Amino acid sequence: MPTNIFIDSSKTQASDEYHLRHIESISSSAEGTDIYLYESLFDSTINQGSYKGKPVGVEYIGNDFKTVTLSIPLYFMDQQQAQDLIDHIMIDKFGEITGTEDEVTFIPDEYVLYQNYPNPFNPNTIIKYSLPEDGFVNLTVFNMLGEEIKTLVNNTQKSGNYEVEFSAIGGSASGGNAYTLPSGIYFYRLQALPTGRQAASFIETKKMVIVK
């Protein structure tokens, strides 16, 4: 069954409502298979969402040839999603063995709040961040009105790299009620207060998009 490909909205223009303007739909012949469909925040009945649900990736896996063709530049995908896609094609589709590396644990040298992936998402997404120092960490999701939706992290953490899953369905909102978030733009904010300091040394906010 085809899988949806999402565009990283941080790499598109606000003037275009975070939509990728130049996109082509491609369909396979009888010998191939449509494997990726384009997903958009916009309804398929309007111009911005006209390619919603249409194939943008096809594969031809034959006895004497193997090809996978995409009509969307990998740049517009989240970096980790693009890497996972390449690994999936090379290993699962082409049967190629990629190089392996021993897992190395390292302490980051700066605070980083990464773009969530997938983005847009429905209903789950992953948020990653890096901490160069031990300290108190708060990671919270807000709506466009600045109202708190969910506190994901609110405790002391050691330096290192972390990831947290956020779901648009279920859980408990700030008022204690279960929630199902509608499509739209949301924000997540990371605040870090290193141990022994009185003020946060890092505060950053990023946006994410829910599509249904």
pLDDT digits (tens, 9 = 90+) for 152-211: 999 999 999 999 999 998 755 444 567 789 999 999 999 999 988 776 689 999 999 999
Contact criterion met (CB below 8 Å) for 28 and 60: yes
Q: How many domains does the chain have?
A: 2
Judge whether 104 lies within some domain: no
Residue span of the structural domain in which 144 resides: 112-210
Predicted pLDDT at 100: 47
Judge whether 146 lies within some domain: yes
Same domain as 120, residue 204: yes
Same domain as 118, residue 85: no
Judge whether 140 lies within some domain: yes
Residues 120 and 191: their CA atoms lie apart, in Å, by 23
Same domain as 126, residue 86: no
Same domain as 125, residue 48: no
Judge whether 79 lies within some domain: yes
Predicted pLDDT at 189: 97
pLDDT < 70 stretches in the chain: 1-6, 9-10, 14-28, 31, 40-42, 47-50, 63-64, 96-106, 171-177, 199-200
Same domain as 118, residue 79: no
Per-state percent for the chain, helix, strand, coil, to nearest 5 = 15, 40, 50
Same domain as 128, residue 42: no
Report pTM.
Answer: 0.53
For residue 196, give the DSSP letter.
T
Judge whether 81 lies within some domain: yes
Predicted pLDDT at 98: 56
Same domain as 156, residue 126: yes
Same domain as 174, residue 130: yes
Scan for tokens 């899988």, then name that residue: 3
Predicted pLDDT at 60: 78
Predicted pLDDT at 197: 79
Q: Which of 61, 1, 51, 62 is nearest to 26 (CA)?
A: 51
Judge whether 121 lies within some domain: yes
